[in-house]
């Protein structure tokens, strides 16, 4: 039976095989960190051969970068619809904080420092890889608020649009823990809404 088989007479190919390889890489990265991850360990977890991996990615840095992008694309990010801009922003920040705190802790830990050294990338680059190809959650919320007449489109510069999540990320960077609810409410009520609400 082939090492890439899922069962008797069946072989994984194309997107199915690639997903299995990237899922295995992400799991190895989370469990062992970058330095502990090897092509051999990924192949073993994915039940395939090293050559199958090397046909798609030339080495560990490229494989890990692809796995990070894959994990980001597969993260389900529902757009909240509470009926108000304030409610939507608070719910979006709560949800993002819960999901992102463990991921950010990984990206900031010494367990992934080798990736930064091998690739010359930064945390911002890694975040870009993770979020690539996704519709902006905050843009969806703000655009809907404009349609409802809650937000002034003239005030929604790129910096203002990103402010709520930038401030949440700052809190995550400082604490490596999910952002407390009172801080999220403060970000929305004291900083974001005064900047974006229609006058």
pLDDT-wise least confident of 46-50, 60-64, 71-75, 137-141: 71-75
Q: What is the pTM of this model?
A: 0.69
Question: What is the model's pLDDT at position 111?
Answer: 78
Q: Is the pLDDT of residue 133 over 90?
A: no
- Find residue 187's DSSP bridge partners: none
Dihedral sign, CA of 60, 64, 70, 71? positive
Q: Confirm or reject CATH 2.40.110.10 for domain 5-72, answering yes or no.
A: no
Stretch 70-91: mean pLDDT: 87
Q: Residue range 102-111: average pLDDT?
A: 74
Burial class (CB in 10 A: 0-12, 13-18, 19+), 194: exposed
Instruction: Report CA dihedral (128, 72, 68, 17) to the nearest 10 degrees.
Output: -140
Distance CA 115, CA 29 (A): 10
Please state which of the ranges 38-42, 48-52, 168-172, 189-193 shows the lowest mean pLDDT: 168-172
Query: Residue 108: which of 32, 176, 26 has the closest Cα?
Result: 176
Domain boundaries, given as residue ranges, for the chain: 5-72, 79-196
């Amino acid at each position: 039976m082939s090492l890439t088989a899922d069962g008797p007479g069946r072989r994984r190919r194309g997107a199915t095989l690639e997903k299995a390889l990237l899922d295995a890489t992400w799991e190895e990265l989370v469990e062992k960190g970058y330095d502990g991850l090897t092509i051999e360990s990924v192949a073993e977890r994915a039940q395939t051969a090293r050559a199958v991996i090397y046909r798609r990615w030339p080495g560990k840095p490229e494989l890990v970068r692809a796995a990070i992008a894959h994990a980001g694309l597969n993260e389900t990010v529902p757009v909240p619809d509470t009926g108000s801009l304030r409610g939507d922003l608070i719910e979006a920040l709560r949800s993002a904080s819960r999901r992102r705190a463990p991921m950010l802790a990984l990206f900031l830990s010494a367990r992934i420092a080798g990736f930064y050294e091998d690739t010359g990338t930064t945390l911002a680059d890694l975040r870009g890889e993770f979020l690539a190809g996704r519709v902006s959650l905050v843009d969806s919320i703000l655009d809907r608020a404009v349609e409802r007449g809650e937000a002034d489109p003239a005030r929604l510069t790129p910096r203002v649009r990103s402010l709520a999540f930038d401030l949440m990320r700052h809190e995550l960077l400082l604490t490596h823990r999910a952002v407390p609810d009172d801080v999220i409410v403060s970000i929305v009520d004291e900083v974001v809404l005064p900047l974006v609400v229609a006058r």
